[in-house]
Amino acid sequence: MLLDHFDGRTAWYSENTFLADSLSLIAFDETGHIADQDAYAERTRIQKKLFECTTVDYQTQSFIQHYQSAALHLNGIGELILPEWVLSDEEKEVEGYRCKKATAHYLGRDWTVWYTEEIPLNIGPWLIWGAPGLIMEARDADDLFIFNFTGADALSYGHRFDILRDFNLKPHVAKRTGNYTTADLRKVENTYTKLRSDVSYFDESHQIKGSRLTDSNGRELDRSAFFKYIPLIPTEYWKNKK
């Protein structure tokens, strides 16, 4: 994953998304037609491993969580919540940076983070933010999710915030073949979780009929085994929200 930060805004997305979208800018013209065959061929060979991205605007205290499942695009709009960090004197080194520990119950999970004041940015991976320095590591209490800092560089390309938001929210020629929904974060999170955990709902939403999954020997596999999804924000969190 990559985390861009520029002028009070961040974009959190997969490296494959960066490569694919960068090639798309070269491969297609403004009308959506192929303009560069070589770039188009290379673009088609890239498979996005993660169909998720998060854009955060700290100036307006807002964010958009974007999910994609085939031709379905879901945009969940939310307002930033400041985690109530409990700061600790405990220290350790992460990738050469001196870091301090902080803990908080945030968006339904207990998080432990390590932040460095050597990089005075109160940002971090995904929606984890608000510590007195850049969050270098983050781990939930159940060890389901772990984020680790691996390195930092000055941006050598245009900031990804506008590119991601423009594609996800504004009219675009690519949307002619897709279904785009923008709604409250709670609704989008619940819809995407159901897409990833309910085979029947997935098939219905994608208009799939009679789908079968087989191995290399032609033996049919149980598709439900591939629908094991744990959301970053647990479903219980939404049940307890008014």
- Where b means 16+ CB within 10 Å and e means fewer, 91-110 reads eeeeeebebbbbbbebbbbe
The residue type at 14: S
Of 111-115, 137-141, 169-173, 204-208, the poorest mean pLDDT is in 169-173
pTM reported for the whole predicted model: 0.83
Give Cα separations from 231 to 1, 138, 165, 185 (angstroms). 17, 16, 22, 13
With the CA atoms of 43, 45, 51 and 54 taken in that order, what torsion angle do they form, in degrees rounded to the nearest 10?
-40
Q: What is the pLDDT of residues 17-65, one digit of tens each?
A: 666 666 667 777 777 788 888 877 776 766 655 468 999 999 999 999 9
Q: What is the mean pLDDT of residues 184-212?
A: 89
Q: What is the mean pLDDT of residues 118-140?
A: 97
Q: What is the pLDDT of residues 55-75, one digit of tens each?
A: 999 999 999 999 988 778 899
pLDDT for 89: 94
| Local confidence band at 174 (pLDDT 50, 70, 90 cut-offs) | low
- Contact present, 180 and 167 (Cβ < 8 Å): no
DSSP state of 162: H
| Local confidence band at 172 (pLDDT 50, 70, 90 cut-offs) | low
Comparing C-alpha atoms, which of 127, 147, 135 is closest to residue 62?
127
Quote the CA–CA distance of 59 and 220 in Å, as a whole number: 51
> Which range scores top for mean pLDDT: 46-60, 128-142, 162-176?
128-142
